[in-house]
Amino acid sequence: MDIDHSLFISDLHLCHTRPLITRQFVAFLQTTAAQADALYILGDLFEYWAGDDDLADAHHQLVITALNALVASGTQVFFMHGNRDFLLSDGFAKAAGIQLLADPTRLSLYGKSVLLSHGDSLCTDDASYQVFRQQVRNSAWQAAFLSQPLSTRKQQIEALRQRSEQEKSGKAETIMDVNAAAVEALLRTHHYPELFIHGHTHRPALHSLALDGHICQRWVLADWYAQGSCLRLDAAGCCAIQLALNAVN
């Protein structure tokens, strides 16, 4: 029996056009994640989410079924919104048996104070993205968007994705990383957690910060574009784990 531990993942960007990554995710849920007390999905599980009325989609059903089986086997699953799947709501959570978490969330795990976030709110150098983020996280905007037919929403999201890809290629690398002062402000607000875990930037790393006499480890999760990975936390601390691709063949 493995010792008590939790796992953290983000930025899988699951999409029906990349079936191998979805298969790896399902295999991960059936094996690695099933050994954990809890799995924390810190945003961008899906490449996009048009609304909870899209649950019947075959690709979504694969994920929902696998999450349900994991929860039924005794692993709790928590989900925090990313910038791609912020419209995911109670309908998906209920269908998959998972629990939604606010961004950020501070908790205590295995005797350690831990702060969790997706990470996009910290990219404050990207001013145009922050304006967009404020708009789409507004409940009135979301209600108006969701009142349109599902097919219309999907078309609009596709157009947005293409525009965002074009804009990204014109932005400096540093603009799309987290802003150091924004990270420090968040850590102060949340009383200097020992661990801060987030994704979004697709720049996996461990950054050790000394802030106002406190030490904080900032762990940045890896994306699942080429292969799966997760961060494991137990009483001894965190370690990053690469998932073998051959596990899905």
Q: By CB under 5 A, name the binding residues for Mn ion.
A: 44, 82-83, 200
Minimal distance in Å, beta carbon 72 to Mn ion?
29
Q: 9 - beta bridge partners?
A: 41
Work out whether strand 6-9 and strand 112-117 pair parallel, antiparallel, or are unpaired.
Answer: unpaired
Taking the least distance from each CB to Mn ion, the nearer of 200 and 218 is: 200
Check if the beta carbon of residue 240 is closer than 8 Å to that of residue 222: yes
Q: What is the DSSP string of 87-140?
A: T--HHHHHHHT-EEE-SSEEEEETTEEEEEE-SGGG-TT-HHHHHHHHHHTSHH
Taking the least distance from each CB to Mn ion, the nearer of 44 and 125 is: 44
Which amino acid does the sequence have at 84?
R
Work out whether strand 76-80 and strand 99-101 pair parallel, antiparallel, or are unpaired.
Answer: parallel
Cα–Cα dist 58/213, whole Å = 51
Q: 233 - beta bridge partners?
A: 6, 238
Taking the least distance from each CB to Mn ion, the nearer of 27 and 183 is: 183
Taking the least distance from each CB to Mn ion, the nearer of 153 and 200 is: 200
Taking the least distance from each CB to Mn ion, the nearer of 24 and 201 is: 201
